[in-house]
Amino acid sequence: MSDERKVDGNSKNEQLEAYRVDDSGKKLTTNQGLRVSEDEFSLKAGERGPTLMEDFHFREKMTHFDHERIPERIVHARGYAAHGEFELYESMKPYTKAKFLQEPGSKTPVFVRYSTVAGSKGSGELARDVRGFATKFYTEEGNYDLVGNNIPVFFIQDAVKFPDLIHAVKPEPHNGIPQAASAHDTFWDFVANNQESAHMIMWHLSDRAIPRSFRMMEGFGVHTFRFVNEEGKAHFVKFHWKPKLGIHSTVWDEAQKINGKNPDFHRADLYDAIENGDYPEFEFGVQVIPEEDEFIFDFDILDPTKIWPEEDVPVKIIGKMTLNRNVDNVFAETEQVAFHPGHVVPGIDFTNDPLLQGRLFSYTDTQLIRLGGPNFHELPINRPVCPFHNNQRDGYGRHTINKGQVSYHKNSLARNTPEPATPSEGGYEHYQEKVDGRKVKTRSDSFKDHFSQATLFWNSMSIAEKEHIIQAFCFELGKVQNKDIQQQVVDMFANVNLEMAQQIADSIGVVAPSEGGQTITKVSPALSQENSTKSVATRKIAVLLDEGYDGDAVSDIVDQFKKQGMQPEIVASKLGTIKTEKGPQLEVDNTFLTVDSVLYDAVYVVGGAHQNESFQGKAGNFTKEAFSHFKPIGATHEGEKLLQDFGVTSLAAGVITEGDSDDFVSRFTEAVKQHRFWERDVG
């Protein structure tokens, strides 16, 4: 490998620097560089006359505006992204020759885009939905795209059914309703008639589908890929991203309200975290299976509706990704980035997963229409950090100016350059798998068990998580108008768990099944969010203040919250500072008009000596809603009396009172770390 291909962790940022423009303090020009003397009025024939087509500046400005929008992605339209770097912990040389996975300590620039699947670009971010988790590694061997989701399985097994799935979940064509929602007839009709979706539906109706933030959800490559080492030996591999903050979610009522209060909640959370220096971190893990063990499991390892249980195939943590820089321009970077599971590097290859095989076609096809032609790889966000040379020419959006008369292979005029690289020179070589079979349109019998792993998922949930899944079923099917579809779905999920199906049937008014279910008792603790890491870092705390509070004590508590890594914000009836009985006056961050309890992880009620009735009413609604969402509630000083007035008992789980000492802070911190108190009776 020549030196021209070597890159370091800053290479992508340095490359993008050439394209960044700061217009501040500059003179206005046309796109041709001509300085413009007037940008308020178009050229007219007389002061009250018609506009003249001679006004080239007006025509250029308006034409650009008229063409500023490109087609949104059919799926994953609502997205947000950030830059970062990936650092390798442990060499994967025994398994793969991919250079970015060889040297511990090496760093590779990355770009990550998170997204929802079903909604349009303008939809709310807290929809119950799968989340995309796509990572572009800018390696010295070319771009490698790990295009995954926050759920490790998918609805279907073969890509030919993907258009049907998306048509079913999108707004119904006769009325365009509902947007960014699966709670409607066509989606559940698809589910009932495509029972391979059973496992994915269990994930989709779990808390995983309404995450607290992008920073607190897992990522998965979904498919089975191959690692191939220098000796040509292959292993099957699945990829994982594990958030250092743990896996945490909202509750459904909260999610719906966030969509109304702040539909940009997830993107704002990611943007603010990076701006504040609270860089999101995800550890990178792999599950590896030797080729000779391909058939030893009770499921097909190539089936995209199946996981490899972590207790059977442990996840080996090999590196960490840190997102440390926001984009400079959302359109130029987040919207124009083009991912493709076929963007691989030597040492990473594909398997015969039929869903993966179809994606290898689909992604290039969609970029051609979205980005206007075959040169989308030349956009700054998509350009590899290593040089690229080939005989491709022309087309929409061409940036490269190729010199010379040759644009074909083979040739003698340019001494047959650019010439293919041998594998020892870094040339990509497909894994030589023996394939022998008749051309058929069918699937292997090993793909036909649709319920065992759905039951494994159910078995692995905590009591609260199971209740949330049942509630989600009842909500989704309660929105379905066709009774026959409701009945079909209940009968289908009796194959997962009979008691679950019977509870759903009772709620939505259909016939409860009397038989069904699996005899499987196996559990996988890794599937439950209850077993995830718990941390107070970056948790947002609403501090409810009114006039006459103890400035010394409250300032000290707020400072201690910050030292613990929490992010307290003062919420009051109006902006400015609030008068204190003693000590410093605190600056108000938000009012009850501008924020809501659903935008915070916990509430700390202080109140004030003046007992303002308006404050009490607003703070009461704020606190009671947080209590109903199972969040930690703290109170000191006048706040303890206010909790009684609000009807929030100090005896309830996660309600911390009694004093303003260090003990209060430590107990409240532990409560915030717990995140939710499902055992709480919220009436």
How does pLDDT run across 118-161, given as a tens digit for each residue? 999 999 999 999 999 999 999 999 999 999 999 999 999 999 99
Question: Which amino acid does the sequence have at 200?
Answer: M
Task: Tell me if 384 is assigned to some domain.
Answer: no
Higher pLDDT, 438 or 660: 438
Please tell me the distance from the alpha carbon of residue 603 to that of residue 209, in angstroms, as a whole number.
Answer: 25
For residue 234, give the nearest of 347, 319, 138, 136 by alpha carbon: 347
Residues 511 and 539 reside in one and the same domain: no
Q: What is the mean pLDDT of residues 259-286?
A: 97
pLDDT for the residue numbered 22:
87
Q: Given 530, 551, 582, which residue is the final one in a domain?
A: 530
Which residues does the annotation mark as catalytic?
76, 149
| Ranges assigned E (strand) in 600-681 | 602-607, 633-635, 655-656
Task: Tell me if 504 is assigned to some domain.
Answer: yes
Do residues 346 and 373 make contact, with C-beta atoms less than 8 angstroms apart?
Answer: no
Domain that includes residue 193, residue range: 79-220+241-286+316-378
pLDDT tens digit string along 275-296?
999 999 999 999 999 999 999 9
Residues 262 and 123 reside in one and the same domain: yes
Task: Tell me if 460 is assigned to some domain.
Answer: yes
Indicate whether 683 pLDDT > 70.
no
Indicate whether 486 pLDDT > 80.
yes
Residues 549 and 522 reside in one and the same domain: no
Provide the angle, in degrees to the nearest 10, between the axes of the packed helices 498-508 and 463-478: 40
The domain total for the chain is 3
Residues 496 and 542 reside in one and the same domain: no
Indicate whether 449 pLDDT > 90.
yes
Q: Which of 10-14, 338-342, 577-581 has the highest mean pLDDT?
A: 338-342
Residues 133 and 247 reside in one and the same domain: yes
Q: Please, what is the average pLDDT of the chain?
A: 94
Residues 520 and 568 reside in one and the same domain: no
Do residues 371 and 338 make contact, with C-beta atoms less than 8 angstroms apart?
Answer: yes
Task: Tell me if 649 is assigned to some domain.
Answer: yes
Phi-psi region of 434 (alpha: psi -120 to 50; beta: other; left: phi over 0): beta
Residues 522 and 615 reside in one and the same domain: no
In the structure, what pLDDT confidence band is assigned to residue 7 with cuts at 50, 70 and 90?
A: low
pLDDT for the residue numbered 1:
39
Please tell me the distance from the alpha carbon of residue 266 to that of residue 269, in angstroms, as a whole number.
Answer: 5
Task: Tell me if 385 is assigned to some domain.
Answer: no
Do residues 475 and 486 make contact, with C-beta atoms less than 8 angstroms apart?
Answer: no
Q: What is the mean pLDDT of residues 630-656?
A: 94
pLDDT for the residue numbered 559:
96
Task: Tell me if 468 is assigned to some domain.
Answer: yes
**Residue 228 bridge partners (DSSP):** 234
CATH number, domain with residue 131:
2.40.180.10
Indicate whether 10 pLDDT > 80.
no
Q: Given 530, 548, 571, which residue is the final one in a domain?
A: 530
User: What percent of the chain has pLDDT above 90?
Assistant: 84
Residues 519 and 540 reside in one and the same domain: no
Do residues 305 and 453 make contact, with C-beta atoms less than 8 angstroms apart?
Answer: yes
pLDDT tens digit string along 17-51?
888 888 889 998 999 999 999 999 999 999 999 99
Q: What is the mean pLDDT of residues 232-248?
A: 98
pLDDT for the residue numbered 99:
97
Residues 499 and 635 reside in one and the same domain: no
Do residues 577 and 586 make contact, with C-beta atoms less than 8 angstroms apart?
Answer: yes
CATH number, domain with residue 569:
3.40.50.880
Residues 503 and 552 reside in one and the same domain: no
Task: Tell me if 277 is assigned to some domain.
Answer: yes
Indicate whether 5 pLDDT > 80.
no
Residues 616 and 640 reside in one and the same domain: yes
CATH number, domain with residue 526:
1.20.1370.20
pLDDT tens digit string along 382-424?
999 988 888 889 998 899 999 999 988 999 999 988 988 899 9
224: which residues sit within 8 A by CB, 6+ positions away? 236, 237, 238, 301, 302, 304, 351, 353, 356
Please name the helix (run of DSSP H) or strand (run of DSSP E) that holds residue 466, with its range, or none. Answer: helix 463-478
Indicate whether 660 pLDDT > 60.
no
Task: Tell me if 25 is assigned to some domain.
Answer: no
**Residue 110 bridge partners (DSSP):** 84, 137
Q: Given 378, 397, 420, which residue is the final one in a domain?
A: 378
Q: What is the mean pLDDT of residues 109-123?
A: 97
Residues 245 and 213 reside in one and the same domain: yes
pLDDT for the residue numbered 482:
98
Indicate whether 313 pLDDT > 80.
yes
| Lowest mean pLDDT segment, chosen from 23-27, 322-326, 533-537, 621-625 | 23-27
